[in-house]
Amino acid sequence: MDVTDLKAEILTTLEADIAMLIGSELKAAVADDFQNITAAIRSDVETMKATVLHMEQGLSSCSDDVSSLLTKVGKLEMERPTAQKPRRQTLGHRKVHYYQDCADILRCARESGQLRFNGTDISIFPDYPPSVVQARSAFGEHGSGSPIMELKKRFQNPGEAMAYVKAKILPDFLKD
């Protein structure tokens, strides 16, 4: 045997031993990581199972409540009285032939405040002829350019107006 043959044989043996050693070390490291990952996944699955069981118990009690409420609603719909009071009172229109009588009635209504009859409110509104209505609407269209009219159109309810005042006007007022 020659020295080169001996070197080649030792080299192949060492390569095989090193490859086997690296392979076994990699398998051990990967196996440890794999076992750690599987243990973590199993614990997560167990906590999810416990959560699902808890949710099922809560939902079953909710479904019992819903079914009992449905039966109560069914009974309430059946027990509704047949005769109900109308939602709005019927309006009564009365004509007054003389303008002065109409003006007197409206003046008295303004002075006395809210009118009540048998526990219901009575509202009195003037019934103007078409010429007066047309003149008033023309005045309303002409006067709509005022800032007050623009604010009245802008806000639909008092809450919107108050929110606008708090957001836009009060901070500027408090700065000074």
What number of residues does the chain have? Answer: 176
Tell me if 80 is assigned to some domain: no
pLDDT, one tens digit for every residue, the chain (176 residues): 688 888 889 889 999 899 999 988 888 888 888 888 999 999 999 999 999 988 888 787 777 778 888 888 777 766 555 556 555 555 555 666 677 777 777 777 677 667 677 777 776 666 667 777 676 666 555 445 555 555 556 666 777 777 777 777 666 656 65
Please check whether residues 8 and 64 belong to one and the same domain. Answer: yes
CA angle 72, 77, 78 (to 5 degrees): 95
The reply to whether 123 falls in a domain is yes
Q: Which domain holds residue 169?
A: 143-176
Statement to judge: residues 102 and 37 lie in one domain: no
Q: Does 116 share its domain with 150?
A: no
Flag whether 105 is in a domain.
Answer: yes
DSSP state of 145: G
Nearest 5°: CA angle at 175, between 174 and 176?
90
Domains identified in the chain, total number: 3
Q: What is the pTM of this model?
A: 0.28
**Measured between alpha carbons, how far is residue 43 from residues 29, 32, 55 in Å?**
21, 17, 18
- 112 shares its domain with 55: no
Asked if 3 and 46 sit in the same domain, the reply is yes
86 part of a folded domain? no
CA distance linking residue 120 with residue 122, whole number of Å? 7
Cα separation, 96 vs 105, in Å, equals: 10
Q: Are residues 5 and 49 in the same domain?
A: yes
Computed from CA positions of residues 95, 100, 102, 105, in that sequence, does the dihedral angle turn out positive or negative? negative
| Cβ pair 157, 138 in contact under 8 A | no
124 in the same domain as 148: no
Q: Are residues 1 and 65 in the same domain?
A: yes
Q: What is the pLDDT of residue 63?
A: 78
Angle 44-50-52 from CA coordinates, rounded to 5°: 100
- 8 part of a folded domain: yes
Do residues 101 and 156 both lie within one domain?
Answer: no
Structural domain contains residue 164: yes
The pLDDT score that the predictor gives to residue 40 is 92
- Please list the helix, strand and coil fractions of the chain in percent, rounded to the nearest 5, in that order: 75, 5, 20
SS3 156: coil
Q: Domain for residue 63, yes or no?
A: yes
Shared-domain flag, residues 147 and 120: no
